[in-house]
Amino acid sequence: MSIRKLVHFGLLSLPPILSAEEVGERWGTADREREFYQLVDLPIPKDLVIEAGAFADLPDGRLAIGTRHGDVLFVSGFDSPNPEPDYHLYASGLDEIFGLAWKDGSLFVTHSAELTKLTDTDGDGTADRYDTISDAWGYGTYHEYAFGSKFDPEGNLYVALGLSSSYRSEELFRGWAMKVTPEGKTIPIASGLRSPGGIGFNEHGALFYIESQGPWNCACSLKFVKEGGFMGHPKSYNWYPFAPNMGETPTEPNSGSTILAEMERVPELVPYAVIFPYIRMGRSLGGFEVNATSGKFGPFENQIFLGDYTQSLVVRATTEQVNGVWQGACYPFREGLSTGILNVHFTPDGNLLTGGTNRGWPVRGLKPYALERLDWTGKMPFEIERITIAPKGFNIRFTKPVDPETGADKDSYKITTFTHPYHGAYGGPEIEQTTPNVTGVTLSEDGLTATVTLDKIERGHVHEFYLDPLRDRDDGELVHTFAFYTVNEVPE
């Protein structure tokens, strides 16, 4: 069947082809970014195809890489200043690997059809035992990816399962999140996923997954995986009879409503915690990891780093819980990578490893696959470090002290808002734009935090911050002048 017919019958979905002006930089900041974060290529031998979808540290200092071709490679030399990595094939014959976790001498691999435990029982450096830990979900089409987490403190693993297509769930538990216990029991814990790009823990240890733009999701987002929760896409409702622990099937959401209105009607519905405005902050975000490098990667400790596939870039995010609900902000970080990013991983030396491919959809990067490393140069960038909400506005923290004149000027802070419809159509517009009035600014004595008060905070809206006029105390400009905060709740 031709690609045209596959698309026509809904068996294949393709995003828009990039226009000529989109092939270049997304933000136009690559020259400034590389002053602070250099891009280092990790050479791949000509006879190897490494479309990296998962990473895991090994006890002996090597790195495990899982690929879309179903191989697991053990790699050394990846953190060297001028890397010439050594690649060793540990296992093969798996399928679209998007999760790796090491425990007690074995590697746990999440791939499309199952969670597999790999063990080298004879010590020859190659896995010779493949144990199925869980195959409690169905698998039938290319769209049905499975993404795996690292272990939580209790020894559980979590799996996020993509739908059979954007609009269908044809195999068991497609569109669900599952918990796999240390005993191998598989428990469905959340419905309503569409097309996950990764699952793991935020900087506070809570379980999140990345959701892709599409039906019921007008942009990519980070979502809290609440046990018993509904993540927003109702096509997976058909599997509730197979999940008695989840209770009754939730009420069907109304297409064309808003997320806040439907949370009143559908108590199980979990809102988007961090929305990544479409195109401006990514088109198809993938795997993520928290920076816990103790300052080796610069000023962004305990922040979430994510790769974007289509636009070949890396962004970052921060989260906080307000009135029991998760929300937070996203920020640009680094563009100009060589391929579509599927996953990222912080190395023992505190560098950020990225891996991916251009297979399946168009991407901005020019290579069919690549392994690249982002290294902090040691030079401090002037950036928006993080944004947190306050009862009457926001606290904006910076990486360097802000010049008092521009920092205390209300005109330095332009803030606008928008929301999306919550609907079953593919993607959607930004609607209900507002421009709150900045009624006051207080700059901390050390110049690192500006507290901005507004005449109104819009619940259910993304708040856009544009801070172009700000300067640091050396008259330096912000590397990136914008950020976006998703407001679900306002603190008392």
Q: What pLDDT digit, counting tens, does each position of 173-219 carry?
A: 999 999 999 999 999 999 999 999 999 999 999 999 999 999 999 99
The answer to whether residues 469 and 363 belong to one domain is no
Local structure of 17: helix, strand or coil = coil
Distance CA 321, CA 275 (A): 15
The answer to whether residues 159 and 87 belong to one domain is yes
* Domain termination site, one of 360, 376, 392: 376
In a domain, 6, yes or no: no
Sign of the dihedral through C-alpha 57, 59, 60, 66: negative
In a domain, 356, yes or no: yes
Strand ranges (DSSP E) for 47-85? 52-57, 63-67, 72-76
Specify the amino acid at residue 396: I
* Domain termination site, one of 342, 376, 410: 376
In a domain, 362, yes or no: yes
94 vs 19, higher pLDDT: 94
In this structure, are strands 229-230 and 274-276 parallel, antiparallel, or unpaired?
Answer: unpaired
In a domain, 9, yes or no: no
In a domain, 18, yes or no: no
The answer to whether residues 62 and 144 belong to one domain is yes
Identify the H or E element spanning 8: helix 3-8
The answer to whether residues 94 and 134 belong to one domain is yes
The answer to whether residues 447 and 352 belong to one domain is no
Residues 6+ apart with CB under 8 A from 177: 158, 159, 160, 161, 188, 189, 190, 193, 199, 209, 225, 231
Neighbouring CB atoms inside 10 A of 379's CB total 9
pLDDT surpasses 90 at 14: no
The answer to whether residues 327 and 406 belong to one domain is no
* Alpha-carbon distances of 250 from 162, 179, 214, 231, rounded to whole Å: 19, 20, 21, 11
The answer to whether residues 334 and 364 belong to one domain is yes
Sign of the dihedral through C-alpha 399, 404, 406, 411: positive
pLDDT (0 to 100) of residue 330: 98
- Write out pLDDT tens, residues 310-369: 999 999 999 999 999 999 999 999 999 999 999 999 999 999 999 999 988 889 999 999
Q: How would residue 15 be classed by pLDDT, with cut points 50, 70 and 90?
A: very low
In a domain, 101, yes or no: yes
194, burial (CB in 10 Å: exposed 0-12, middle 13-18, buried 19+) = buried
The answer to whether residues 320 and 390 belong to one domain is no
Distance CA 421, CA 487 (A): 15
Out of 356-360, 376-380, 486-490, which region has the weakest mean confidence (pLDDT)? 356-360
In a domain, 15, yes or no: no
The answer to whether residues 89 and 221 belong to one domain is yes
Distance CA 430, CA 275 (A): 12
> Which residues span the domain enclosing 361?
29-376
pTM exceeds 0.75: yes
Quote the number of domains for the chain: 2
- Write out pLDDT tens, residues 274-309: 999 999 999 999 999 999 999 999 999 999 999 999
The answer to whether residues 322 and 441 belong to one domain is no
- The tokens describing 277, both together, are 């405005």
pLDDT (0 to 100) of residue 7: 30
pLDDT surpasses 60 at 432: yes
The answer to whether residues 388 and 279 belong to one domain is no
The answer to whether residues 414 and 354 belong to one domain is no
| Residue 408 belongs to domain with CATH number | 2.60.40.1220
